[in-house]
């Protein structure tokens, strides 16, 4: 029987329990996948902790690479033996699982299982952030928080590839060195550098057209002060906690600012959009424009250790669980 990590009650990393599971045959539109590598994302922590709600019990995780083991009666797009990847489908922390065929994309030959699992969710997120939420262009100066993180490291490299000057924030000098080697022209360390002041200096007092903020509570208000008039605040995560309610007239006082809270579901609503996003991710990885760093690997059964590392800000780049 295969195993999976299951959450029976929300809480700390100890709620991630290694259990035997029963996986049936794939139904219509489904594929059974023997998974090899599973990506860990900060959103997995929100679900485990109960910040995002999900009926209990559940298997966490949202992205993985695997080999098709069996297909449902009407599935013609895939066959047993195909190597595929998905993101945004809850239930990834498992050795074997059922996945809707429509969510699966074939992994190109040049991309290994662990790189596929490390980059799909983070890369698709970076893709819509810098190509759709705000189209980063040559000559832009932008601010990326948590630039050494999973999404941050991909986004910084991708924005640099598009011709932007990238200002990144991180929490340590080691992370600053890493991001300077991966897309960031300026690496600012929380507690040492005042990022509002530096952004103002670098932009000649004008401010940036876009801030990508995944930290939330601790950075949100200061991020607004980094924007130029009519700039776009992209709040796409909350690793420090949710942003408390605030008076919306702040956006007027700080320069007619725009604010968006983008999600993958809204940007990848159709099969065509998933394929388009995945292709762009594969292209930037295969061209070398975006280097994927798997700086932490764990056995699937040790998912709790992966969560402890991620939420204590010890990690850089991607974390992968090996099934």
Is residue 295 close enough to count as binding ligand NAP by CB under 6 A? no
Q: Choose, by CB under 6 A, the member of 60, 152, 183, 231 that binds ligand NAP.
A: 152
Q: Choose, by CB under 6 A, the member of 35, 95, 156, 239 that binds ligand NAP.
A: 239
Min separation Cβ 75 and ligand NAP, Å: 27
Options 20-28, 69-77, 144-152, 298-306: segment touching ligand NAP (CB under 6 A): 144-152
Is residue 42 close enough to count as binding ligand NAP by CB under 6 A? yes
Is residue 171 close enough to count as binding ligand NAP by CB under 6 A? yes
Q: In sequence order, what are the residues at sequence separation of 6 or more whose Cβ sits closer than 8 angstroms to the Cβ of residue 263?
A: 236
Q: Choose, by CB under 6 A, the member of 83, 264, 296, 298 that binds ligand NAP.
A: 264
Q: Which long-range contacts (CB under 8 A, 24 or more apart) does 75-82 make?
A: 75/26, 75/29, 75/30, 75/31, 75/101, 77/101, 78/31, 78/104, 78/106, 82/106
Is residue 92 close enough to count as binding ligand NAP by CB under 6 A? no
Between CA 189 and CA 208 the distance in angstroms is 18
**Can you spell out the DSSP letters for 76-119?**
-S--TT-EEEEES-S--SBSEEEEEGGG-EEPPTTS-HHHHHHH
**Are 273 and 267 a contacting pair, CB within 8 Å?**
yes
Find residue 256's DSSP bridge partners.
none
Q: In sequence order, what are the residues at sequence separation of 6 or more whose Cβ sits closer than 8 angstroms to the Cβ of residue 6?
A: 16, 17, 19, 21, 57, 58, 59
Between CA 184 and CA 131 the distance in angstroms is 18
Q: Choose, by CB under 6 A, the member of 93, 158, 236, 282 that binds ligand NAP.
A: 236
Going by C-alpha positions, the residue among 179, 178, 149 that lies closest to residue 166 is: 179
Min separation Cβ 5 and ligand NAP, Å: 17
Is residue 313 close enough to count as binding ligand NAP by CB under 6 A? yes
Pairing of strands 16-20, 318-322: unpaired
**Cβ nearer to ligand NAP, comparing 135 with 253:** 135
Is residue 262 close enough to count as binding ligand NAP by CB under 6 A? yes
Is residue 125 close enough to count as binding ligand NAP by CB under 6 A? yes
**Cβ nearer to ligand NAP, comparing 156 with 214:** 214
Q: Choose, by CB under 6 A, the member of 6, 175, 186, 307 that binds ligand NAP.
A: 175
Min separation Cβ 311 and ligand NAP, Å: 5
Options 29-37, 97-105, 210-218, 268-276: segment touching ligand NAP (CB under 6 A): 210-218
Virtual CA dihedral for 45, 46, 50, 55, nearest 10 degrees? Answer: -90
Footprint of ligand NAP (CB under 6 A)? 41-43, 121-122, 125, 146, 148-152, 170-171, 175, 214-215, 218, 236-240, 262-264, 310-311, 313, 315
């Amino acid at each position: 029987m295969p195993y999976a990590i299951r959450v029976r009650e929300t809480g700390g990393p100890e709620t991630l329990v290694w259990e035997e599971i029963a996986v049936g045959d794939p139904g219509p539109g489904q594929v059974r996948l023997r998974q090899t590598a599973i990506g860990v994302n900060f959103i997995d922590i929100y679900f485990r902790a109960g910040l995002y709600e999900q009926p209990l019990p559940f298997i966490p995780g949202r992205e993985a690479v695997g080999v098709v083991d069996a297909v449902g009666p009407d599935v013609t797009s895939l066959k047993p033996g195909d190597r595929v990847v998905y993101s945004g489908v809850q239930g990834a922390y498992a050795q074997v699982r059922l996945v809707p065929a429509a969510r699966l994309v074939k992994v190109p030959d040049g991309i290994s299982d662990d790189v596929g699992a490390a980059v799909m969710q983070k890369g698709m997120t970076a893709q819509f952030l810098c190509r759709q939420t705000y189209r980063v262009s040559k000559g832009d100066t932008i601010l990326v928080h948590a630039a050494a993180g999973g999404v941050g490291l991909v986004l910084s490299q991708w924005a640099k590839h598009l011709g932007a000057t990238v200002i990144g924030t991180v929490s340590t000098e080691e992370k600053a060195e890493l991001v300077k080697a991966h897309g960031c022209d300026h690496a600012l360390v929380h507690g040492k550098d005042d990022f509002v002041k530096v952004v103002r200096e670098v932009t000649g007092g004008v401010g940036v057209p876009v801030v990508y903020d995944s930290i939330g509570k601790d950075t949100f208000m200061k991020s607004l002060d980094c924007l130029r008039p009519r700039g776009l605040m992209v709040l796409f995560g909350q690793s420090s906690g949710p942003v408390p309610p605030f008076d919306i007239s702040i956006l007027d006082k700080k320069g007619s600012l725009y604010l968006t809270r983008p999600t993958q579901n809204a940007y990848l609503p159709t099969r065509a959009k998933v394929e388009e996003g995945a292709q762009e991710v594969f292209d930037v990885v295969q061209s070398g424009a975006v280097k994927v760093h798997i700086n932490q690997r764990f056995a699937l059964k040790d998912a709790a250790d992966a969560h402890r590392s991620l939420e204590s800000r010890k990690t850089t780049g991607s974390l992968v669980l090996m099934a």
